[in-house]
Structure 1
Amino acid sequence: MGLALHTTQQDGRATVAARGSIDLHSSEELRERLTELVDAGNKVIVVDLTAVDFCDSSGLNVLVRAYKHARAQSATFTVTGAYGRVENVLRTTGLDKFLIGDPAADG
């Protein structure tokens, strides 16, 4: 299916709604989008994975790198909406402790 990204920005908060699969073939697009948002000065970055049905190790790598990049810029980075296989892989790897959060608490 590939990956579709829809970004909304307001008052220093950027939300990226992803749809489809985050894998080796699509993760670069997500990486570029997240890097641009952090570099543009957004202080809260939220990735909505509600419509994502698959995320492999390259997708996890993008999320971890974006989290670290945001932290280095004094921004917050959270993932919401993960369910099923995507939530399971985040929990199994322990990344849920860093990535899954309540975006309302961040801004």
Structure 2
Amino acid sequence: MADPVVETIAGGRCLVARVGGDMYYVTASVSDHQFKELIARGDRFIVPDLSGVSFCDSAGLNVLLGALRQAEASGAVLVLARVPEPLQRIPEMTGVTQLLQAYDTVTDAEAVGGR
């Protein structure tokens, strides 16, 4: 399993960050810290691109939900982009798809932030 990485890849009206590696119980604290740093930058619209995430369990999902709560508390919007198909099932099975908005592409997600 690979350690999670959150890397800023674009700026402008939206902060886009490529997320890679594995998000699970062993790496949850690392992922959580990286998302907190990302949100602390102060951008108003944040788009994590999850295309590089190879594995995510309930602890990884909790990291994403925590990032969403932190973003909302700071007045920011956080939406997901490019969620790999196997990972799409986790929010569906747990019923959090209403909370974690996901878009097929980064461009689609950025369009929401540009409104």
TM-score, normalization by structure 1: 0.85
What 5-or-longer segments of structure 2 have no aligned partner? 104-108
Q: In the aligned structure 2, how far is the partner of 1:70 from the partner of 1:4?
A: 19
- What is the CA distance between 1:66 and its match in structure 2? 0.6
Give the 3-state SS of the residue equivalent to 1:99 in structure 2.
coil
Work out whether 1:106 is the aligned partner of 2:113. Answer: yes
Moved more, 83-92 or 1-10: 1-10
Structure 2 equivalent of residue 43 of structure 1: 44
SS at match of 1:96: coil
1:62 aligned partner, one-letter code = V
Q: Distance in 1 between matches of 2:26 and 2:13?
A: 29
Task: Decide whether the 8 Å contact of 1:12 with 1:41 is kept in 2.
Answer: no
Q: Deviations over 1:24-45 (max 9, x none)?
A: 1222222112111222211111
Instruction: Determine what percentage of the aligned residue pairs are the same residue.
Output: 27
User: What do you get for the CA RMSD once the two structures are aligned?
Assistant: 1.7
Count of residues in Structure 1 that have an aligned counterpart in Structure 2: 107
Deviation at 1:7, TM superposition (A): 1.6
- Please give the TM-score of this superposition, normalised by the length of structure 2: 0.80
